[in-house]
Amino acid sequence: MSLMVEKLAYLKKLRHLTSEDISRQSGVPLGTLNKILSGQTKNPAVGPMDRITRVLRVPIRYLLDDELPPECCVTANCQDGVVLLSPEELRLLLALRRLEPRRRRTAGIMLALMSAASVKSIGTVAVKRTFCYSTGATSAPPVRAILIPEVDTASREADFAVLLNDSSMEPLYAPGSVLLCTQRPPTAQEYGVYLYHQEVLLRRLCRRKGVIRLLAPSLAYPDLQVEPQEPLDCLGTITGQARGCRWEQTP
């Protein structure tokens, strides 16, 4: 099966259209259409293909470009012309539009950071560029770019970092520590990074008899009971502490 035939089948299913529907709406005879849909016609004429793509709501480039996977069938206009988007990319764009301006700015910072050219080393030490959240009440930006020397397994495998601005993790980690984190969920014995009431918290989640609590190692911080209706997002798991980090200017 050619990629164009695969894309046509994908679009028929996506748009909930039958061959008869496409033929009727495009004016392309059903026999001609079936030959195109089955791949029997190797090089279909531009005229019928233009009418078919109008019914399927895709540019003809989508069908002809073998570099584009079938799921990239949604179009958007930009300065460079028409861009084809996958359903996942469309969901991300719609989610971005729903954000308030401050959070949209934060998302833009993270995207710019992940899109930037990577820094390979500082001197003779390999480093990675990633983003760092901040905990507690602080005047620092909610997300900052950071360079982390890859001196051990935790630093090499870290997906992001968290700057600890309070004493909630004492005696494990002191205020001012930069903690390394992965995006996997924590085990029952590990401390995770949680977004709770729009605040980044470093806690261990305890689930007992249907009650969820967030526990800090410091006894100065009381347990937080999470009600069932309250949103609680786990961002990842703390795996260690970074050493010799450098802040980069926020993109």
Euclidean distance between CA atoms 147 and 249, whole angstroms: 11
**Position 141 confidence tier, pLDDT thresholds 50, 70, 90:** low
Please give the share of the chain, as a percent, with pLDDT higher than 90.
39
The set of residues, in sequence order, having a beta carbon less than 8 Å from that of 205 and lying 6+ positions away, is 186, 188, 192, 194, 212, 213, 214, 215, 234
Place 62 in a pLDDT band, splitting at 50, 70 and 90.
confident
The whole-angstrom separation of Cα 21 and Cα 24 is: 5
pLDDT computed for residue 80 by the predictor: 54
Weakest-pLDDT range from 22-26, 198-202, 247-251:
247-251
Helices (H), 28-122: 30-38, 46-56, 60-64, 87-98, 101-115
* pLDDT attached to residue 167: 93
Structure-block tokens of residue 19: 């061959």
pLDDT tens for 181-198 read 999 999 999 999 998 887
pTM: 0.59
- So what's the pLDDT on residue 246? 87
pLDDT tier for residue 126 given thresholds of 50, 70 and 90: confident
User: How far is C-alpha 136 from the geometric centre of its chain's CA atoms?
Assistant: 25
User: Is residue 78 over pLDDT 70?
Assistant: no
Tell me which residue of 197, 201, 76 sits closest to 134, measured CA to CA: 201
Q: Which two tokens stand for residue 91?
A: 């969901």
Q: What is the pLDDT confidence band of residue 83, given thresholds at 50, 70 and 90?
A: low
> Confidence class of residue 137 from pLDDT cuts 50, 70 and 90?
low
Please give the domain boundaries of the chain with CATH numbers for all domains: 3-70 (1.10.260.40), 118-248 (2.10.109.10)
Angstrom distance (rounded) from CA 205 to CA 195: 12
| Mean pLDDT taken over the chain | 84
Give pLDDT, residue 119. 59
Q: The tokens of 72 are what?
A: 């990239």
Half-sphere exposure of 141 (CA within 13 A, CB side): 19
Q: How many helices (H) and strands (E) does the chain have?
A: 8, 13
pLDDT of residue 107: 74
For residues 19-32, average pLDDT? 93
Asked if the model's pLDDT at residue 96 lies above 90, the reply is no
Q: Are strands 246-248 and 143-149 parallel, antiparallel or unpaired?
A: antiparallel
| 163-189 mean pLDDT | 94
Check the CA dihedral 207-211-212-213 and report its sign. negative
Kindly tell me if the per-residue pLDDT of 8 is higher than 80.
yes
- Residue 22 CB contacts under 8 Å (≥ 6 apart), including other chains: 12, 28, 33, 52, 55, 56
CB-based contacts of 71: which residues, under 8 Å, 6+ apart? 10, 86, 87, 88
Peptide bond preceding 171 in cis form (omega within 30 of 0): yes
CA distances from 18 to 13, 48, 87, 101 (A): 8, 17, 22, 43
In this predicted structure, the answer to whether residue 69 has a pLDDT above a threshold of 80 is no
pLDDT number for residue 224: 94
